Amino acid sequence: MLPPIAAIAACGSLVTAVKSAWELRRMVKNKRQKRRDEDEALDILDELEDAYEDGLLTEVDYSRYYSRYLESVAEGDLTGLRKLRMHIDIVAVRQKMVPRSRSLEVARTQAQSATSRRGAPPSIPSPSQCSSSEAYSSAQSVGSSFPSTDSI
């Protein structure tokens, strides 16, 4: 059996080993988090520059957002960086919505002009408008590929 001093020393070295392993794990975790934060900051800067180059931001807006970016990076303010990313995303989404609505308007006008050039599609009169069922069935066979109601 171990003398009591040796047991205490062994227990102390075990505690020291656990403590140093925990400290090393904490340091590695903090280092990884710091690297992720730096990567996120660079991504936000890239998004900010892309938004400016794409014309989504004016020069005044870009300089204002860039100064916010620099302040957040200098202070290590992740919340400020994430708010900046949200502002850039909102501007990008708003810009994507505008051309889509404009392209829908252009598509509608093109469709209307194409329809007016081709002429109106043949209209199928209702049975109450026709004097006989023959005229209705002949008009229906011209305008539709469905069978007439007489054969059903």
| 124 part of a folded domain | no
> Helix (H, G, I), strand (E, B), or coil: what is residue 113?
helix
| 122 part of a folded domain | no
Per-residue confidence (pLDDT) for residue 120, from 0 to 100: 47
Q: Which of 79, 81, 75 is nearest to 47 (CA)?
A: 81
Q: Which secondary-structure segment (H or E) carries 141?
A: helix 133-143
| 9 part of a folded domain | yes
Per-residue confidence (pLDDT) for residue 11, from 0 to 100: 75
Per-residue pLDDT of the chain (152 residues; tens, 9 = 90+): 556 776 777 777 778 888 889 999 999 999 999 999 999 999 999 999 988 988 888 899 899 999 999 999 999 888 899 999 999 888 888 877 665 555 556 556 666 665 554 554 444 445 555 554 554 454 444 444 444 455 44
| 42 part of a folded domain | yes
Structure-token pair, residue 79: 């919340």
| 147 part of a folded domain | no
The whole-angstrom separation of Cα 93 and Cα 1 is 73
| 125 part of a folded domain | no
| 128 part of a folded domain | no
Which domain covers residue 32, as residue numbers?
A: 4-117
Q: Domain tally for the chain? A: 1
| 14 part of a folded domain | yes
The whole-angstrom separation of Cα 115 and Cα 121 is 8
Per-residue confidence (pLDDT) for residue 98, from 0 to 100: 60
